[in-house]
Chain A
């Protein structure tokens, strides 16, 4: 049942131009930065050979690419999540799901899963770029995997937050703007704490960015993974609660 809803969600994304436009725009921007990163790498390649413990191709090309992807997608994800629930409410299609033998939990999980499928497509296209370097050089696959995994967790967290904010309103625009605001705030929470001593800081701990960069550096830390999982589960539970409450109040 969850899969039925997820499949419809996924297909309907590709039936509107939105998904294609987003894939294309993201790909063009990232490809441009990928090529300039390669260009820089060629220029400094000779200097690198003189260094001990020189950073490899993965550090110099793949990691910055994932870093940039996370920022670009931070702006793009709200556009994808905004319509998840608020559009259903606006078009009253939600009553089809509510009068079907499906629980609200299944509806929310189905929609979330549908979006995750899309994220996997997006991630696949992005990963193809650094992966293409494997034809000419040796890559640090462990680090690459850790980066992709980190990006996936970050995008999954963006989606969960967007899903919840989309359940609050029946206006997709408001959902998009508030999602963008929330994500940006969480992303740069650590900026304020940059001067303070790193680890023990509450803001640094809450910031999405801190946990993401750890994974990007190739450190698979349970603390960071737990942070993302808690973030995702938390917002999904909130979205389910929100829809349950609306049935009581609306």
Chain B
């Protein structure tokens, strides 16, 4: 089946600075694509280009088979977009605002009320529907932003950091909503919260300094094992004694009782091995998820650079 979004050689310069460099990817229906990257990596620029807010320097974008640059009006019909800052007219009430958005997105008059009600219900805005957006808390405003993006039930939904400012329960609700929407729509979720990507997305892409550096399905990623663990031992064996064991590839001492170990063995085997040594294992934690490891490896270049520039 044809892809909902296809991006080819997308490039964007700001003067001499290259924010997005030659990115190509596709998004199929029923797919939730996590778009990851450190701050300033070009995430938001890419999203702005996909939504027609920013013109690319070169490259082609097509949404639902329609070229965004040649035929923007027709292409944008299939698009719902939540920017980093939710675009809310604060002097309007929630219902008024959503009705305006609905008319803007060419929803038929007869279906407008129904569409608004559905979006309000899905985003849990029932209690505040008659209140001015200005008087709502940040979390509610964020939800109005999400409601606006899904209102016309577009085939493609682009969400730029949708869970910012929400409380933990709301975050779970919104993630659930995104998952439900992802069954029938194609969603691009742009975030730097790694657990969110693992919880929601079916595919992950990492962008760093304008380049697409990683792309893989989440299943593939989860099948990769974590290799770094934190352990606490009540006995205090010498560092040599631990690093002498072949099962560990490296051992680092944090303090007297805590160690960070790397190992390719499975967690089960590792625990069994450590228990056998009778070191008094009191805590065993996977240090990072595999996504975090990959993310840090791929974007570490910048972090080092940042440190030297300090």
Contacts and interface: CB of A to CB of B under 8 A. Distances in A.
Where chain A touches its partner, the secondary structure class is: helix
B52 A99 contact: yes
Nearest 10 CB-CB pairs, A to B?
A96-B87, A99-B51, A99-B81, A101-B76, A93-B87, A100-B104, A92-B85, A15-B91, A4-B103, A248-B55
Contacts of B48: 95
B148 interface: yes
B88 A95 contact: no
B104 A4 contact: yes
Contact of A16 (B55, B79, B91): B91
Nearest to B49: A247
7 contacts: A8-B89, A95-B51, A95-B81, A98-B51, A100-B76, A102-B76, A102-B104
Interface residues of A, number: 23
Given A8-B100, A101-B72, 4 more contacts: A92-B87, A95-B87, A99-B81, A100-B76
Nearest to A16: B91
A247 B85 contact: no
A95 B53 contact: yes
B77 A99 contact: no
B89 A247 contact: no
Contact of A96 (B54, B74, B77, B101): B101
A40 interface: no
Contacts, number: 70
Contacts of B51: 95, 98-99
Contacts of A247: 53-55
Interface string B52-84: 111100000000000000001110110101011
B92 interface: yes
A201 interface: no
Contact of B72 (A4, A15, A103, A250): A103
A36 interface: no
Contact of B105 (A5, A8, A92, A100): A100
A93 B100 CA distance: 13
Interface in A61-118: 91-103
Interface in B149-167: none
Interface of B: 48, 51-55, 72-74, 76-77, 79, 81, 83-85, 87-92, 100-101, 103-106, 148
Nearest to B158: A99
B76 A99 contact: yes
Interface of A: 1, 4-5, 8, 12, 15-16, 91-103, 247-248, 250
B89 A92 contact: no
B248 to A, nearest CB: 51
Contacts of B88: 91, 93
B148 A96 contact: yes
A92 B89 CA distance: 10
B92 A102 contact: no
A2 B85 CA distance: 25
Contacts of A96: 87, 101, 104, 148
A142 B67 CA distance: 54
A8 B48 CA distance: 24
Contacts of B76: 99-102
Given A95-B81, A97-B104, A102 B87 contact: no
Contact of A99 (B53, B90, B92, B100): B53
A94 B73 contact: no
A77 to B, nearest CB: 21
Contacts of A4: 100, 103-104
Contacts of B91: 12, 15-16
- Which has the most chain B C-beta neighbours within 10 Å: A15, A16, A100, A250? A100
Nearest to A103: B73
A91 B81 CA distance: 16
A16 B91 CA distance: 7
